[in-house]
């Protein structure tokens, strides 16, 4: 985008924007489009796609040990349903190699080859932009990585303002000071929004735009859910229902472990985020000075149905399970009616993989109910940006309601701040330790 052009000039729009929110959203989407084109321009001359570059980057980080194929898929920045075909092409080009694990021949490990490493090294830094995110501007892990990136940019005699974008708080801080000094593009995180609640600010929407998500629809869905959860009628307030179910199960039935289990691949990252949201917001000292708070657990169906369900069924009755499901799948695979299947699974003929997953989720919920273990299900009509935005808002509103029920402030994190301070002190005095050396291995 030419710096002398306004956004309206750049997208050739004659009418004024309806409001600042529309202009900001279009600006983020336009920025994403330009950066995505730049990323493609970097990697495509090397004979790979942006998705294949992401695979190589993940495997480089894994080192000589490599990673299982499905782990590579789970670590992708963007959804990659055809991960096997993606790696097939990389292997054919000599950028990766695959080997079956010795203990378990069903597991295939991928490693990056010297040719793949050389390709990554060759990619042009001149066409790369790094997004640095820290509300306070003092997050040590983020600043450490920024320092490495900045060194590489300057070593290559590049202008930082053309290769960096910051997302940080509007007040003074290290990143804000650097941005002002070096004229680095910066997006604000609202002062009154904590990190775990910031997914609908530029912390989440800018990377989402880079990845091709419809951020306008994401925010519209969130707004609709916000309004839906604002009323006093519990029957029409899904966030209130979720919060009361979890709180009452904990305080009245000692069910203090709250499992969130996704049965939709598109929602696989929601449970890990919920773990931080629920734990960091509710694990506090309440108004009476008591330590309170549930323990959230992330799970993924149907994988963890085979690894955790035994505990949930016959272990201590101290858990609730919240299922995330997708009611309508836009893409699915159907087993042919004439498929040659072994007798134990012949009943799957003519069904889709989505139908199998849905049946497993319903069976899991029924099994839990049969032994008196509580669960609830949150269903999305379809996993698109609008409905994901609504789900994100539902869980954030539920966290606020739960804070009131547990009588804690869900918006602060004094325990985390103490850990950060002690980490800074440990770096300043590396020999200082409170550990008992007798139990150090």
Q: Which residues are catalytic?
A: 280, 306, 420
- Residue ranges of the alpha helices (H) in 93-233? 114-122, 140-155, 174-182, 202-210, 215-228
Positive/negative CA dihedral, 167, 171, 175, 177: positive
The encoded tokens of residue 398 equal: 């539920």
Of the candidates 374, 416, 398, 357, the residue with the CA atom closest to the CA atom of residue 258: 374
- 221 CB-near residues (< 8 Å, 6+ apart): 385, 386, 387, 388, 389, 390, 391, 393
Q: CA-CA distance, 92 to 90, in Å (whole number)?
A: 5
Instruction: Please write down the HEC assignment for all residues of 62-91.
Output: HHHHCEEHHHHHHCCCCCCCCHHHHHHHHH
Chain center to CA of 116: 27
Report d(CA 421, CA 386) in Å as an integer: 39
Both tokens of residue 232? 């006093």
Please say whether the beta carbons of 348 and 356 come within 8 A: yes
Tell me the sheet residues that pair with 377.
323
Encoded tokens for 384:
């698109």
Give Cα separations from 269 to 14, 102, 181, 274, 332 (angstroms): 40, 30, 36, 9, 20
* Alpha-carbon span 122 to 321, nearest angstrom: 47
Task: Give dist(CA 294, CA 283) in Å, integer.
Answer: 7
Q: Which residues pair with 168 in a beta bridge?
A: 134, 188
The burial of 284, by beta-carbon neighbours within 10 Å (0-12 exposed, 13-18 middle, 19 or more buried), is given as buried
């Amino acid at each position: 985008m030419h710096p002398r052009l306004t956004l309206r000039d750049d997208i050739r729009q004659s009418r004024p924007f309806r409001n600042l929110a529309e202009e900001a959203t279009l600006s983020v989407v336009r920025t994403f489009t330009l950066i995505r084109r730049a990323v493609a321009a970097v990697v495509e001359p090397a004979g790979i796609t942006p998705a294949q570059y992401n695979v190589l980057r993940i495997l480089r980080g894994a080192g000589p040990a490599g990673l299982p194929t499905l782990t590579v898929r789970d670590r992708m920045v963007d959804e990659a349903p055809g991960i096997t075909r993606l790696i097939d092409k990389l292997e054919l080009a000599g950028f990766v190699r695959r080997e079956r694990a010795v203990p378990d021949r069903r597991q295939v490990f991928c490693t990056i080859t010297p040719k793949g490493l050389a390709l990554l090294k060759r990619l042009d830094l001149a066409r790369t932009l790094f997004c640095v995110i820290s509300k306070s501007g003092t997050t040590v892990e983020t600043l450490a990585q920024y320092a490495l990136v900045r060194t590489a940019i300057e070593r290559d005699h590049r202008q930082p303002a053309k290769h960096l974008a910051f997302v940080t708080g509007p007040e003074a801080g290290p990143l804000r000071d650097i941005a002002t000094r070096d004229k680095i593009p910066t997006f604000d995180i609202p002062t009154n929004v904590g990190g775990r609640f910031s997914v609908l600010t530029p912390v989440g929407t800018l990377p989402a735009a880079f990845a091709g998500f419809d951020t306008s629809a994401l925010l519209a869905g969130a707004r609709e859910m916000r309004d839906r959860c604002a009323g006093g009628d519990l029957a029409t307030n899904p966030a209130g229902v979720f919060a009361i179910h979890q709180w009452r199960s904990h305080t009245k039935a000692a069910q203090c472990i709250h499992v969130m289990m996704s049965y939709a691949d598109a929602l696989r990252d929601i449970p890990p985020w919920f773990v931080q949201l629920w734990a960091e917001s509710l694990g506090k000292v309440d108004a009476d000075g008591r330590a309170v708070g549930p323990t959230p657990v992330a799970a993924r169906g149907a994988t963890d149905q085979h690894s955790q369900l035994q505990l949930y069924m016959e272990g201590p009755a101290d858990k609730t399970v919240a299922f995330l499901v997708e009611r309508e799948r836009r893409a699915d695979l159907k087993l042919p009616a004439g498929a040659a299947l072994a007798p134990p699974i012949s009943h799957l003929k003519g069904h889709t993989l989505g139908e199998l997953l849905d049946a497993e989720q319903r069976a899991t919920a029924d099994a839990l109910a049969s032994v008196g273990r509580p669960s609830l299900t949150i269903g999305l009509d379809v996993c698109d940006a609008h409905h994901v935005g609504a789900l994100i808002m539902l869980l954030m509103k539920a966290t606020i309601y739960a804070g009131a029920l547990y009588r804690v402030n869900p918006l602060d994190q004094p325990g985390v701040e103490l850990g950060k301070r002690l980490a800074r002190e440990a770096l300043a005095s590396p020999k200082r330790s409170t550990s008992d050396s007798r139990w150090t291995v």
